[in-house]
Amino acid sequence: MKVFIYIYYFFRSVILRGFTNTIELIRAESINEKKYGITTSSIKKSNSTEFFHYQGAGYLILFRVLEQIAAQTKQFEFVDIGCGKGRPVFVAESIGYKTLTGIDLDGELISVAKENLKNYLLKTQDSKIQFLQVNALEYSYKNMPTVYFLFNPFNEEVLEKVLRKIISSTNSETWFVYMNPKYSQVFTPDKFDLINEVKTKRYLEAKIFRLKI
User: 85-114 pLDDT, tens per residue?
Assistant: 999 999 999 999 999 999 999 999 999 999
Q: For position 12, what pLDDT does the model report?
A: 87
- 2-61 residue pLDDT tens: 667 778 788 989 999 999 999 999 999 999 999 999 999 876 666 666 555 678 899 999
d(C-alpha 145, C-alpha 43), whole Å: 31
pLDDT reported for residue 52: 53
> What domain count does the chain have?
1
Find the CATH number of the domain harbouring 206: 3.40.50.150
> In the prediction, which pLDDT does 150 show?
97
Cβ 174 vs Cβ 166: under 8 Å = yes
Q: How far apart are CA 155 and CA 212, in angstroms?
A: 23
For residues 203 and 60, what is the distance between their CA atoms, to the nearest angstrom?
14
Cα atoms found within 13 Å of the Cα of residue 149, Cβ hemisphere only: 32
CA 132 from centre of chain: 15
Determine the pLDDT at residue 84: 94
Is pLDDT of 213 > 90?
Answer: no
Mean pLDDT of the chain: 93
* pLDDT at residue 208, rounded to an integer: 98
Residues paired with 37 in a beta bridge: none
Element (DSSP H or E) covering residue 120: helix 107-124
Could you read off the pLDDT of 146-160 as tens digits, one per residue? 999 999 999 999 999
What letter would DSSP give residue 186?
A: G
Lowest-pLDDT choice from 36-45, 82-91, 126-135, 202-211: 36-45
Which residues have CB under 8 Å from 157's CB, separation 6+?
A: 50
* Structural domain boundaries enclosing 188: 2-211
